[in-house]
């Protein structure tokens, strides 16, 4: 079984828990006392990850660190549909990589602001917030135009990809870091859609959402 | 400026911002709004604040007709925003005063319009009337309204969406927070109307509507063009706003919820605070008419499943009827009225005299039969017309996705009231048709075999069936608090021969209750008007807390353990065994 060096309030660990839950992959969580114990910075933990951060997974002896790398690994290995990491489609895989890099940006701004406010990290909080808003504006426009084309996800396919899983937690917890989402209605609608993916699990600070529109069986669109 | 903005209609969202079961977070003039479209298409614009702990309702959850706060699960009804359920008090009906603040909403040109205290109607724009309009992407700007309007006046755009081919633009008008520009290029024209939403003193949203909707690829091209041009404008305006004076954020006043105090009014008997019109009257089953009552004027107050109203009839009689619709379902009350063979004029009047369009006086809804929503399973047992409150409960449980069954005992198919609702409820409805009293008892015995923890039973029907249920439940060891009864009328013969004294602890008054008079009547004679409804010991409205003394219970509202406890009394029929009762009035 996959072991994950895990912390319940970590955005990056949640990305893996969410992906494994959606892919229905059983895992064992090894809790790390991230705050206030700083266990991930301990000499002992640096033997597991010399960079001193979580998550790290141990899949039957295969060790991997870095949240977005782990998402690529999990989807490649455990998604038989090949939709979450669409390697057989050059355009889509390019987009996925592009938005995974975008997710590095949201992690380093929106989620950094949250680490500063909630978990004792020292960052330039105003720079983090301004950076998050810059990225959210780009994502808002992008997702609004996706909706205009009757598409719902970050990449241009009809199914969500690991890019959605990589960006979603940074966005949905942004208010904890003082980054309001009131100016991003398309972004808020997209978070509803992610929450409706079968297998979705919440974490503290993320709440379930109302149902999706039931599919009409009477031949007529349930508009 | 701010004052006149308060009286204008402003767009606060676009229609596409309100997809199925989504709760939009908006803001106008400093006030945050939770905006959601209910399953009946009604657009709710509410203060974005749970009345309990102030949590934003925009992170709550919609089940289509009620919105549930994410924090402690308080529920609010579609349209009225009245609280329908408080999970921490599952057995109690929330007070009617717990009602969130609502704002008006109108849909026009693909936008949702609202306002603090708007007068008249949202603006009518000639260029957008009867036009195939195209809604542009809205742009949030960190700048004050006037600065945004000033820059928009000089906005240039291309008719075809080609950014290298900007057209000559002329302003058609500027009025309040809106302006209209027409571009001309190669003999073609395109008009864009901008509405600027004053979000806060230093924040605005630009909402643009195009008077023509290009087809095919040009549509997306046009949308992208305006999005890019308006984003550019936003960046310029925001830079300029940084140099401007720093403005204090607007402060929206938040109204306090009145505390629910017992009503003490002049002794005028039962009150009929509401006027309603009969919207629809139809035969829903053998001997049963359905009535839909619609408010005249103010929207009807929120009702909860199990609630009833007093109907003041043209012939002077007052009758109680349960509401059959679920909370949040329409701004109307739906009743089912059976023509009683021994009618003393109540049901006969509603059947024969009252017609569609008539105006009736009714009381506000009261709920003495509240529905818990924390049971692992709920069994609803209806006998005949007793189905009425249970239909409201069944629809609520269905909407909340809670496990329930509705057992409906009736003579024949033709006696089933509201068959269309039963059809909608589907497999949760179990029919028991044409059973004799003995067969009914057997069916009830089977239903009540083996009490389950956290399972609740709600029963409404004729007296003998309720008595049988009470006996069977007690034999099967159901705890009293798990079985909830609603009687049509008192089945106990009331003896009013005793005489005794009542002391009113809070009023410092002692009164004599002579034989032949009820406590309620004596109180009224002395200027204390208690709320009452059925006045025969069935509905529970005139309940009072007993501080001292032993009540002689003659009602069917309290259950056996409540009667034994002796802490509550129905003042319309019950009396005293002890020479004196001290009441908490």
- Lowest mean pLDDT across B99-108, B143-152, B156-165, B217-226: B156-165
A208 to B16: CB separation less than 8 angstroms, yes or no = no
User: Do B449 and B476 form a contact (C-beta atoms < 8 A)?
Assistant: yes
Considering only residues B269 and B383, tell me which one the structure prediction assigns the higher pLDDT. B383
Chain B CB contacts of A183 under 8 Å are 140, 203, 205
Chain A CB contacts of B25 under 8 Å are 181-182, 185, 188
Residue A172 C-alpha, separation from nearest chain B C-alpha, in angstroms? 11
Question: Within an 8 Å CB–CB cutoff, is residue B543 touching chain A?
Answer: no
Q: Please give the Cα distance from B307 to A195 (Å, whole number).
A: 35
Reading phi first (left if > 0) and then psi (alpha if -120 to 50, else beta), residue B401 is in left
Chain A CB contacts of B205 under 8 Å are 183
A185 to B17: CB separation less than 8 angstroms, yes or no = yes
B25 to A210: CB separation less than 8 angstroms, yes or no = no
pLDDT bracket for residue B246 (50, 70, 90)? confident
Strand pairing report for B404-410 and B377-383: parallel
The predicted pLDDT at position B120 comes to: 93
Q: Please give the Cα distance from B90 to A80 (Å, whole number).
A: 46
Q: What are phi and psi of B433, to 5 degrees?
A: -105, 140
Residue A59 C-alpha, separation from nearest chain B C-alpha, in angstroms? 36
Please provide the DSSP assignment of A57-124 as one string: EEETTEEEESHHHHHHHHHHHH-TT--SS-TT-HHHHHHHHHHHHHHHHHIIIIIHHHHHHHS-----
Q: Please give the Cα distance from B98 to B443 (Å, whole number).
A: 40
Residue B540 C-alpha, separation from nearest chain A C-alpha, in angstroms? 36
Q: Please tell me which residue of chain B has the smallest CA distance to A144.
A: B137
Mutation for testing the B interface, residue in A145, A185, A187, A215 having most B CBs under 10 Å: A185
The mean pLDDT value of chain B amounts to 92
* Three-state secondary structure call for residue B303: coil
Polymer length in residues for chain B: 585
Structural domains for chain B:
1-122 (2.102.10.10), 125-247 (3.30.530.20), 274-362 (2.40.30.10), 377-487 (3.40.50.80), 500-583 (3.10.20.30)
B21 to A211: CB separation less than 8 angstroms, yes or no = yes
DSSP classification of residue B537: S
Q: Report the b/e string of A70-104 with b at 16+ CB within 10 A.
A: bbbbbbeebbeeebbbbeeeeebeebbeebbebbe
Q: Please tell me which residue of chain B has the smallest CA distance to A209.
A: B61
Mutation for testing the B interface, residue in A151, A174, A182 having most B CBs under 10 Å: A182
Q: Which residues pair with A65 in a beta bridge?
A: A56
Under 8 Å CB-to-CB from B23, ≥6 apart: which residues?
Answer: A210, B34, B35, B36, B57, B58, B59, B60, B61, B62, B67
Q: What are phi and psi of A71, to 5 degrees?
A: -60, -45
Question: Within an 8 Å CB–CB cutoff, is residue B13 touching chain A?
Answer: yes
In chain A, count H helices and then E strands: 8, 4
A183 to B223: CB separation less than 8 angstroms, yes or no = no
Residue B112 C-alpha, separation from nearest chain A C-alpha, in angstroms? 14
Chain B CB contacts of A171 under 8 Å are none
Q: Please give the Cα distance from A108 to B7 (Å, whole number).
A: 43
Average pLDDT over residues B463-468: 92
B129-132 contact pairs (CB < 8 A, 24+): B131/B211, B131/B212, B132/B212, B132/B213
Q: Please give the Cα distance from B514 to A161 (Å, whole number).
A: 80
A192 to B16: CB separation less than 8 angstroms, yes or no = no
Q: Please give the Cα distance from A208 to A192 (Å, whole number).
A: 9
Question: Within an 8 Å CB–CB cutoff, is residue B260 touching chain A?
Answer: no
The predicted pLDDT at position B524 comes to: 87
Q: Please give the Cα distance from B231 to A136 (Å, whole number).
A: 14
Percent of chain A with pLDDT over 90: 93
**Does residue B253 have a pLDDT over 90?**
no
Q: Please give the Cα distance from A78 to A23 (Å, whole number).
A: 7
| B61, B64, B205 member nearest A208 (Cβ) | B61
Residue B189 C-alpha, separation from nearest chain A C-alpha, in angstroms? 24
The upper half-sphere exposure of residue A211, i.e. CA atoms within 13 Å in the direction of its Cβ, equals: 12
Q: What are phi and psi of B78, to 5 degrees?
A: -45, 145
B138 to A213: CB separation less than 8 angstroms, yes or no = no
- State the first-to-last Cα distance of chain B, in angstroms, to the nearest integer: 51
The predicted pLDDT at position A16 comes to: 98
The predicted pLDDT at position B457 comes to: 96
- Of B562, B571, B475, give the one whose Cα is nearest residue B519: B571
User: Do B195 and B178 form a contact (C-beta atoms < 8 A)?
Assistant: yes
Question: Within an 8 Å CB–CB cutoff, is residue B229 touching chain A?
Answer: no
Polymer length in residues for chain A: 223
**Does residue B97 have a pLDDT over 80?**
yes
Question: Within an 8 Å CB–CB cutoff, is residue B224 touching chain A?
Answer: yes
A189 to B13: CB separation less than 8 angstroms, yes or no = no
- Sign of the Cα torsion B258, B260, B262, B263 reads positive
For residue A182, give the H/E element and its range.
none
Chain A CB contacts of B59 under 8 Å are 207
Residue B405 C-alpha, separation from nearest chain A C-alpha, in angstroms? 22
Chain A CB contacts of B23 under 8 Å are 210
The predicted pLDDT at position B462 comes to: 92
pLDDT bracket for residue B269 (50, 70, 90)? low
Q: Please give the Cα distance from B197 to B176 (Å, whole number).
A: 11
| B20, B23, B25 member nearest A213 (Cβ) | B20
Q: Please give the Cα distance from A32 to A6 (Å, whole number).
A: 6
The upper half-sphere exposure of residue B509, i.e. CA atoms within 13 Å in the direction of its Cβ, equals: 13
Q: Please tell me which residue of chain B has the smallest CA distance to A146.
A: B220
* Three-state secondary structure call for residue B212: coil
Question: Within an 8 Å CB–CB cutoff, is residue B25 touching chain A?
Answer: yes
Question: Within an 8 Å CB–CB cutoff, is residue B133 touching chain A?
Answer: no
DSSP classification of residue A140: H
Residues in chain A with pLDDT < 70? 216-223
Structural domains for chain A:
2-78 (3.40.30.10), 90-195 (1.20.1050.10)
Reading phi first (left if > 0) and then psi (alpha if -120 to 50, else beta), residue B216 is in left
User: Do B395 and B401 form a contact (C-beta atoms < 8 A)?
Assistant: no
A contact set with B (CB within 8 A) = 141, 144-145, 147-149, 181-185, 188-189, 192, 207-213
| A141, A148, A182 member nearest B25 (Cβ) | A182
Q: Please tell me which residue of chain A has the smallest CA distance to B71.
A: A207
pLDDT bracket for residue B258 (50, 70, 90)? low
- Of B300, B296, B252, give the one whose Cα is nearest residue B277: B296
B21 to A212: CB separation less than 8 angstroms, yes or no = yes
- Lowest mean pLDDT across A37-51, A194-208, B332-346, B452-466: B332-346
A209 to B19: CB separation less than 8 angstroms, yes or no = no
A188 to B25: CB separation less than 8 angstroms, yes or no = yes
């Amino acid at each position: 079984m996959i072991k994950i060096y895990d912390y319940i309030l970590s955005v990056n660990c949640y990305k893996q828990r969410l992906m494994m839950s959606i892919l229905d992959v059983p895992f064992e969580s090894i809790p790390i006392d991230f705050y206030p114990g700083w266990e991930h910075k301990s000499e002992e933990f640096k033997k597991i990850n010399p960079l001193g951060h979580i998550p790290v997974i141990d899949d039957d002896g295969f060790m991997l660190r870095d949240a977005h790398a782990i998402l690529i690994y999990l989807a490649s290995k455990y998604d038989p549909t090949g939709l979450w990491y669409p390697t057989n489609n050059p355009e889509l895989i390019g987009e996925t990589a592009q938005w995974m890099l975008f997710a590095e940006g949201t992690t380093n701004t929106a989620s950094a602001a949250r680490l500063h406010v909630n978990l004792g990290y020292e960052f330039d909080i105003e720079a983090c917030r301004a950076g998050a808003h810059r990225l959210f504006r780009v994502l808002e426009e992008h997702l609004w135009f996706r909706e205009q084309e009757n598409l719902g996800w970050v990449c241009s396919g009809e199914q969500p990809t690991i890019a959605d899983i990589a960006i979603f937690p940074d966005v949905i917890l942004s208010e904890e870091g003082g980054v309001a989402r009131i100016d991003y209605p398309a972004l808020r609608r997209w978070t509803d859609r992610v929450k409706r993916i079968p297998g979705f699990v919440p974490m503290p600070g993320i709440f379930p959402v109302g149902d999706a529109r039931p599919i009409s069986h009477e031949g007529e669109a349930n508009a | 400026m701010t004052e006149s903005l308060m009286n204008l209609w402003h767009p606060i969202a676009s229609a596409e911002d309100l997809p199925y079961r989504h709760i939009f977070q908006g803001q106008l003039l400093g006030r945050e709004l939770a905006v959601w479209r209910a399953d009946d298409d009604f657009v709710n614009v509410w203060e974005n604040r749970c009345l309990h702990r102030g949590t934003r309702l925009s992170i709550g959850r919609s089940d289509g007709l009620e919105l549930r706060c994410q924090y402690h699960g308080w529920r609010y009804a579609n349209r009225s925003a009245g609280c329908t359920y408080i999970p921490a008090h599952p057995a109690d009906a929330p007070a009617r005063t717990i009602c969130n603040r609502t704002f008006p909403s109108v849909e026009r040109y693909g936008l949702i319009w609202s306002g603090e205290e708007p007068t008249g109607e949202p603006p009518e724009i000639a260029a957008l009337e009867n036009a195939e309009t195209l809604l542009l992407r809205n742009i949030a700007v960190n700048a004050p309204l006037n600065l945004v309007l000033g820059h928009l006046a000089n906005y240039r755009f291309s008719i075809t969406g080609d950014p290298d081919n900007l057209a000559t633009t002329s302003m058609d008008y500027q009025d309040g927070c809106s302006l209209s520009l027409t571009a001309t290029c190669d003999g073609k024209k395109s008009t864009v109307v901008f509405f600027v939403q004053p979000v806060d003193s230093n924040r605005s949203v630009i909402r643009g509507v195009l008077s023509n909707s290009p087809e095919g690829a040009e549509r997306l091209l046009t949308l992208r063009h305006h999005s890019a041009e308006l984003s550019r404008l936003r960046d310029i305006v925001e830079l300029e706003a940084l140099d401007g004076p720093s403005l204090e954020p607007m402060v929206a006043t938040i109204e306090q919820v009145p505390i629910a105090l017992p009503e003490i009014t002049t002794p005028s008997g039962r009150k009929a605070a509401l006027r309603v019109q009969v919207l629809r009257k139809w035969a829903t089953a053998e001997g049963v008419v359905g009535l839909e009552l619609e408010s005249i004027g103010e929207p009807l107050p929120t009702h909860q499943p199990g609630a009833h109203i007093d109907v003041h009839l043209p012939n002077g009689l007052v009758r109680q009827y349960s509401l059959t619709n679920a909370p949040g379902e329409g701004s109307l009350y739906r009743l089912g009225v059976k023509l009683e063979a021994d009618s003393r004029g109540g049901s006969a009047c509603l059947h024969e005299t009252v017609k569609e369009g008539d105006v009736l006086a009714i009381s506000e809804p009261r709920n003495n039969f509240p529905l818990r929503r924390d049971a692992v399973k709920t069994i609803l047992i209806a006998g005949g017309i007793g189905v009425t409150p249970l239909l409201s409960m069944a629809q609520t449980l269905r909407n909340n996705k809670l496990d329930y069954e509705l057992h409906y005992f009736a003579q024949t198919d033709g006696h089933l009231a509201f068959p269309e609702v039963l059809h909608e409820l589907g497999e949760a409805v179990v029919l028991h048709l044409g059973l004799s009293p003995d067969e009914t008892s057997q069916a009830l015995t089977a239903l009540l075999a083996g009490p389950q923890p956290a399972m609740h039973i709600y029963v409404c029907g004729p007296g003998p069936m309720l008595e049988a249920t009470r006996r069977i439940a007690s034999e099967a060891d159901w705890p009293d608090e798990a079985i909830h009864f609603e009687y049509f009328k008192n089945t106990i013969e009331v003896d009013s021969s005793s005489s005794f004294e009542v002391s009113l602890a809070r009023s410092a008054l002692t009164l004599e209750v002579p034989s032949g008079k009820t406590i309620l009547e004596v109180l009224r004679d002395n200027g204390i008007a208690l709320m009452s409804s059925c006045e025969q010991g069935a509905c529970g409205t005139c309940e009072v807390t007993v501080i001292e003394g032993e009540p002689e219970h003659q009602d069917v509202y309290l259950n056996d353990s409540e009667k034994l406890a002796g802490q509550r009394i129905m003042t319309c029929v019950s009396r005293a065994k002890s020479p004196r009762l001290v009441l908490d009035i």
